């Protein structure tokens, strides 16, 4: 494996020759350098690319002083990448020729594949087949190519890739929208933020966003990666990427779009990209090494603070300003983002009192007042140094001063900021042109300067979010943790469809999830009863795979207290079932003990992109109206289940709300973990599980599922 990859990198496809080729063949080269076949020649010769460039076009002997080859077979070896800029009907034969010539990678700019639908879809299918046969891996089609600013290899086309202002930096972008993504690279450069790489993946017929992301994450020159994502189909691979990011301490900045129905339709109409619901992406982002960004400013600010490579030890922030108003504002935003503004220690407070005027505030946030301007900010720097040194403080936000004394101040400040390993961030008080040289000097010396106070806090919060996830990840037991139960055989009927309640509960019981005591009887059995099959009070329900919504169908009777009532109820529900759906297959009458406790629901779905996911909430209005639910990818252990329980806003109800007893959270966590194993072990057959309600009893007294529904799918 390449030396530029992390030593611990596992199972990662090595794309080093793709992103930094020894030579590039430009297939369909044009001598008009403004055209799509000409632009790459300009880009590869005028921006310092060190590899060789081989134009291919039988029409010309040379272009721009470069020998032009009549066909791909004539191109000298070694050649690692072919840029294909021909119309779609020529692409398949080119790929075959690349295979024959031993050129391993193609970047296919050509449009006219799956994004146009109909015949384009078929053409793309053939392209994939051809590439596989030829042994060629390809980027695209329908993409804008690649920017490698680390090695000056710009292999693509478009206006933005030709800008001289673009700068490299320790981040690699993979973008599903080339036009937008390359625009981001240009904008970031203006704010001093660079990218080593940016690849536009187009239709992803072969090489996917995630495959490239995995590779870039392992590259030593990248401290982070950034994904502009419309959709992906392999949710589990995304989750694994997030775990690897935590292991490496390199965040994956993700800008996900297509999150609303309207946005999703727009994404589908422009790249025919299908995708899972945004909620599942958010779950993946929240628990893995991702930082979700939502706008250009977000991205730039997060990159500025991330590149300092400082990791806050805790969430305690010291804030220092020259204006009370700014301190109040920053304090508010810190609290809103879950950061803490603790008291400074007494020695620090005493020290500050000697440094500032009497009407200054030495509490956190510290307001040194405009009086800080009176000594060219010498005392202001001492104030900042004192706060940084305070053991109660993990990181600092300071408002930078402005005016003619700022340059001298900044040189002294840089020494202070670099004498600590705590994150130190400046909030720039005015516009980027005000003392622009000072900002440049500060940022060159590892001090991020963020515009706007709110944005400053948001950026710092992202640093804390990642640090906290990294710390939690380091503490978490590895995947080898023992399962609470082995995989169980379930004896499921063939085909898709709904299991009846009794059979659904048998599946739960097989996984050790407590269910209410119940017996399945025929109407005749019930009529012959001399004594109740279970102690009164009882519940009677119809058992039918064809009537999944029993309450709505009127086939449930509660609180039955005598044998006569039981008999009547059995007849009642059979009649009601017949009335509801005379064709429904009836498996009998289900007689259950009455259960009570706090009602919660455990659901599970087998998402076609993310695989099995478990949902937890209080059910009813809490789930439907208040959306107070949480999700985790299955399987997971009881510790994760406990985190899940505490995720919901109404969690206090389980821990003893308003003097009520604390409930059996341990038993609930066990049930959640077991449901996650049930669906994960049988993901080939189980499409959905709905355990609703499951009653939670006081601590030590367990939980019991009162109703359940398992939906099967055909084996794939």
Q: Within 59-88, which residues bind its own copies (CB under 8 A)?
A: none
d(CA 653, CA 501): 28
How many beta carbons lie within 10 A of that of residue 188, not counting itself? 24
Any contact of residue 266 with its own copies (CB under 8 A)? yes
The answer to whether the bond into 537 is cis (omega within 30° of 0) is: yes
Any contact of residue 104 with its own copies (CB under 8 A)? no
Q: Candidates 52, 219, 455, 632: give the one binding its own copies (CB under 8 A).
A: 455
Query: In this structure, which long-range contacts are made by residues 548-554, counting pairs with CB atoms below 8 Å and at least 24 apart in sequence?
Result: 548/498, 548/709, 550/501, 550/707, 553/577, 553/580, 553/581, 554/579, 554/580
Q: Candidates 82, 207, 212, 341: give the one binding its own copies (CB under 8 A).
A: 341
User: Is the CB of residue 445 less than 8 Å from the CB of residue 418?
Assistant: yes
d(CA 495, CA 467): 47
Any contact of residue 177 with its own copies (CB under 8 A)? yes
Bridge-partner residues for 254, per DSSP?
Answer: 227, 292
Q: What distances in angstroms separate CA 318 from CA 370, 389, 393, 394, 407, one per listed residue?
A: 19, 10, 6, 8, 23
Stretch that binds its own copies, among 279-287, 293-301, 470-478, 638-646 (CB under 8 A): 293-301
DSSP type of residue 233: S
Q: Which two tokens stand for residue 428?
A: 């720039």
Q: Candidates 135, 325, 407, 493: give the one binding its own copies (CB under 8 A).
A: 325
DSSP type of residue 214: H
Give 367 or 664: the residue with its C-beta nearer to its own copies: 367
d(CA 429, CA 179): 32
Minimum separation from the CB atom of position 404 to its own copies (A): 9
User: Is the CB of residue 142 less than 8 Å from the CB of residue 113?
Assistant: yes
Give 265 or 596: the residue with its C-beta nearer to its own copies: 265
Any contact of residue 230 with its own copies (CB under 8 A)? yes
Site string for its own copies, 535-564 (x = CB under 8 A): -----------------x------------
Any contact of residue 661 with its own copies (CB under 8 A)? no
Any contact of residue 186 with its own copies (CB under 8 A)? yes
Q: Which helix (H) or strand (E) holds 226?
A: strand 224-229
Bridge-partner residues for 631, per DSSP?
Answer: 615
Stretch that binds its own copies, among 95-103, 253-261, 479-487, 541-549 (CB under 8 A): 253-261
How many beta carbons lie within 10 A of that of residue 358, not counting itself? 7
If we measure between CA atoms, which residue out of 196, 195, 194, 260 comes closest to residue 230? Answer: 260
Residues 117-156 binding its own copies (CB under 8 A) are 144
Minimum separation from the CB atom of position 524 to its own copies (A): 33
Q: Candidates 37, 141, 453, 693: give the one binding its own copies (CB under 8 A).
A: 453
Any contact of residue 662 with its own copies (CB under 8 A)? no
Give 97 or 176: the residue with its C-beta nearer to its own copies: 176
User: Is the CB of residue 54 less than 8 Å from the CB of residue 43?
Assistant: no
Q: Candidates 140, 170, 181, 702: give the one binding its own copies (CB under 8 A).
A: 181
Stretch that binds its own copies, among 188-196, 387-395, 474-482, 582-590 (CB under 8 A): 188-196
Stretch that binds its own copies, among 232-240, 256-264, 508-516, 607-615 (CB under 8 A): 256-264
Longest distance between any two alpha carbons in the chain, whole Å: 103
Stretch that binds its own copies, among 77-85, 100-108, 331-339, 661-669 (CB under 8 A): 331-339
Any contact of residue 394 with its own copies (CB under 8 A)? no
Any contact of residue 240 with its own copies (CB under 8 A)? no
Q: Candidates 78, 249, 324, 554: give the one binding its own copies (CB under 8 A).
A: 324
Any contact of residue 158 with its own copies (CB under 8 A)? yes
If we measure between CA atoms, which residue out of 268, 250, 258, 196 comes closest to residue 228? Answer: 258
User: Is the CB of residue 219 less than 8 Å from the CB of residue 4?
Assistant: yes
Minimum separation from the CB atom of position 548 to its own copies (A): 16
Q: Candidates 60, 180, 536, 609: give the one binding its own copies (CB under 8 A).
A: 180
Q: Candidates 176, 462, 544, 640: give the one binding its own copies (CB under 8 A).
A: 176
Residues 344-383 binding its own copies (CB under 8 A) are 358-359, 361, 363, 365, 367, 370, 373
Q: What distances in angstroms separate CA 213 from CA 46, 209, 372, 566, 701, one per listed residue?
A: 28, 6, 47, 62, 47
d(CA 512, CA 22): 59
Minimum separation from the CB atom of position 289 to its own copies (A): 23
Q: Candidates 7, 261, 486, 531: give the one binding its own copies (CB under 8 A).
A: 261
Minimum separation from the CB atom of position 167 to its own copies (A): 12
CA 185 from chain centre, in angstroms, equals 21
Stretch that binds its own copies, among 10-18, 333-341, 518-526, 567-575 (CB under 8 A): 333-341
Minimum separation from the CB atom of position 97 to its own copies (A): 26
Give 230 or 501: the residue with its C-beta nearer to its own copies: 230
Stretch that binds its own copies, among 70-78, 429-437, 468-476, 687-695 (CB under 8 A): 429-437
Q: How many helices (H) and strands (E) does the chain have?
A: 23, 30
If we measure between CA atoms, which residue out of 636, 592, 597, 600 comes closest to residue 618? Answer: 600
Please state the length of the chain.
716
Residues 190-209 binding its own copies (CB under 8 A) are 190-191
Minimum separation from the CB atom of position 322 to its own copies (A): 7
User: Is the CB of residue 410 less than 8 Å from the CB of residue 437?
Assistant: no
Q: Which two tokens stand for residue 558?
A: 């509660």
User: Is the CB of residue 640 less than 8 Å from the CB of residue 663?
Assistant: no
Give 324 or 537: the residue with its C-beta nearer to its own copies: 324
Q: Which two tokens stand for residue 549?
A: 């919504």
d(CA 389, CA 368): 17
d(CA 563, CA 529): 8
Minimum separation from the CB atom of position 227 to its own copies (A): 12
Residues 610-639 binding its own copies (CB under 8 A) are 621-622, 625-626, 628
Minimum separation from the CB atom of position 530 to its own copies (A): 35
Any contact of residue 437 with its own copies (CB under 8 A)? no
3-state helix, strand, coil in the chain (%, to 5): 40, 20, 40
Stretch that binds its own copies, among 325-333, 386-394, 629-637, 683-691 (CB under 8 A): 325-333
Minimum separation from the CB atom of position 506 to its own copies (A): 28
Q: Candidates 434, 587, 643, 688: give the one binding its own copies (CB under 8 A).
A: 434
Give 112 or 497: the residue with its C-beta nearer to its own copies: 112
Q: How many residues contact its own copies, by CB under 8 A?
A: 87
Minimum separation from the CB atom of position 308 to its own copies (A): 22
Any contact of residue 430 with its own copies (CB under 8 A)? yes
Q: What distances in angstroms separate CA 326 from CA 333, 334, 383, 397, 434, one per listed residue?
A: 11, 12, 16, 11, 18
Q: Candidates 58, 102, 403, 495: give the one binding its own copies (CB under 8 A).
A: 403
Stretch that binds its own copies, among 59-67, 173-181, 493-501, 637-645 (CB under 8 A): 173-181
Interhelix angle 453-475/324-336, rounded to 10 degrees, is 30
User: Is the CB of residue 223 less than 8 Å from the CB of residue 14?
Assistant: no
Residue with token string 């020159």:
221
Give 25 or 654: the residue with its C-beta nearer to its own copies: 654
If we measure between CA atoms, which residue out of 228, 291, 257 comes closest to residue 460? Answer: 291
Q: By CB neighbour count within 10 A (0-12 exposed, 13-18 middle, 19+ buried), where does 376 fall?
A: middle
Any contact of residue 460 with its own copies (CB under 8 A)? no
Q: Which two tokens stand for residue 212?
A: 């490239």
Give 170 or 429: the residue with its C-beta nearer to its own copies: 429
């Amino acid at each position: 494996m390449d030396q530029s990859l992390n030593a611990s990198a596992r199972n990662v496809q090595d794309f080093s020759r793709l992103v930094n080729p020894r030579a590039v063949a430009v297939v369909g080269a044009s001598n008009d350098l403004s055209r799509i076949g000409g632009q790459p020649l300009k880009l590869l010769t005028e921006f310092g690319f060190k590899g060789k460039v081989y134009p291919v076009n039988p029409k010309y002997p040379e272009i721009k002083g470069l020998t032009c080859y009549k066909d791909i077979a004539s191109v000298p070896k070694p050649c690692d990448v072919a840029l294909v800029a021909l119309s779609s009907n020529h692409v398949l034969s080119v790929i075959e020729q690349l295979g024959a010539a031993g050129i391993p990678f193609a970047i296919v700019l050509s449009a006219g594949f799956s994004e146009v639908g109909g015949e384009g879809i078929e053409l793309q299918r053939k392209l994939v087949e051809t590439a596989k046969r030829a042994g060629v891996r390809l980027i695209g089609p329908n993409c804008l190519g690649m920017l490698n600013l680390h090695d000056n290899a710009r292999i693509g086309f478009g206006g933005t890739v030709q800008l001289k202002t673009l700068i490299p930096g320790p981040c690699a972008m993979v973008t599903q929208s080339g036009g937008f993504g390359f625009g981001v690279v240009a904008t970031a450069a203006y704010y001093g933020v660079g990218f080593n790489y940016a690849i536009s993946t187009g239709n992803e017929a072969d090489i996917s966003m995630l495959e490239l992301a995995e590779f870039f994450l392992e590259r030593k020159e990248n401290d982070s990666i950034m994904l502009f994502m419309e959709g992906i189909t392999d949710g589990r691979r995304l989750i694994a990427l997030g775990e690897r990011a935590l292991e490496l301490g390199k965040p994956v900045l993700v800008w996900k779009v297509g999150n609303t129905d309207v946005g999703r339709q727009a994404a589908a109409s422009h790249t025919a990209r299908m995708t899972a619901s945004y909620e599942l992406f958010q779950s993946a982002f929240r628990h893995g090494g991702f930082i979700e960004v939502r706008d250009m400013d977000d991205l730039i600010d997060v990159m500025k603070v991330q590149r300092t490579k400082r990791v806050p030890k805790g969430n305690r922030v010291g804030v220092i300003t020259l204006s009370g108003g700014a301190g109040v504002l920053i304090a508010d935003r810190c609290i809103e983002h879950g950061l803490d503004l603790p008291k400074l220690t007494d020695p620090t407070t005493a020290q500050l009192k000697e440094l500032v005027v009497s009407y200054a505030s030495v509490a956190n946030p510290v307001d040194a007042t405009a009086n800080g301007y009176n000594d060219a900010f010498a005392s202001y720097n001492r104030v900042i140094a004192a706060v940084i040194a305070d053991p109660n403080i993990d990181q600092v936000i300071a408002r930078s001063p402005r005016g003619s004394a700022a340059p001298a101040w900044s040189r002294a400040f840089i020494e202070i900021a670099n004498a600590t390993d705590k994150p130190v961030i400046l909030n720039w008080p005015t516009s980027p042109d005000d003392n622009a040289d000072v900002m440049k000097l500060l940022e060159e010396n590892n001090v991020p300067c963020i515009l706007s106070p709110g944005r400053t806090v948001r950026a710092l919060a992202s640093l804390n979010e990642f640090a906290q996830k990294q710390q939690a990840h380091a503490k978490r037991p590895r995947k080898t943790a023992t399962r609470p139960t082995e995989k169980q055989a379930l004896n499921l009927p063939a085909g898709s469809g709904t299991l009846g309640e009794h059979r659904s509960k048998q599946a739960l019981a097989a996984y050790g999830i407590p269910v209410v005591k119940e017996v399945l009887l025929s109407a005749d059995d019930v009529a012959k009863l001399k004594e109740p099959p279970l102690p009164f009070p009882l519940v009677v329900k119809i058992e039918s795979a064809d009537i999944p919504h029993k309450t709505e169908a009127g086939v449930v009777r509660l609180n039955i207290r005598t044998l006569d009532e039981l008999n009547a109820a059995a007849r009642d529900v059979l009649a009601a079932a017949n009335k509801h759906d005379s064709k429904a297959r009836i498996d009998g009458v289900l007689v259950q003990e009455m259960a009570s406790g706090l009602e919660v629901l455990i659901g599970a779905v087998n998402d076609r992109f993310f695989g099995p996911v478990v949902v937890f909430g209080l059910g009813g209005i809490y789930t439907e109206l208040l959306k107070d639910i949480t999700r985790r990818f299955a399987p997971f252990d009881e510790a994760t289940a406990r985190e899940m329980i505490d995720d919901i806003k109404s969690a206090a109800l389980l821990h003893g709300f308003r003097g009520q007893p604390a409930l059996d959270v341990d038993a609930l966590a066990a049930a959640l973990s077991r449901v996650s194993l049930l669906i994960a072990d049988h993901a080939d057959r189980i499409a959905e599980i709905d355990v609703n309600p499951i009653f939670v009893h006081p601590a030590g007294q367990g939980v019991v599922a009162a109703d359940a529904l398992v939906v099967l799918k055909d084996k794939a």
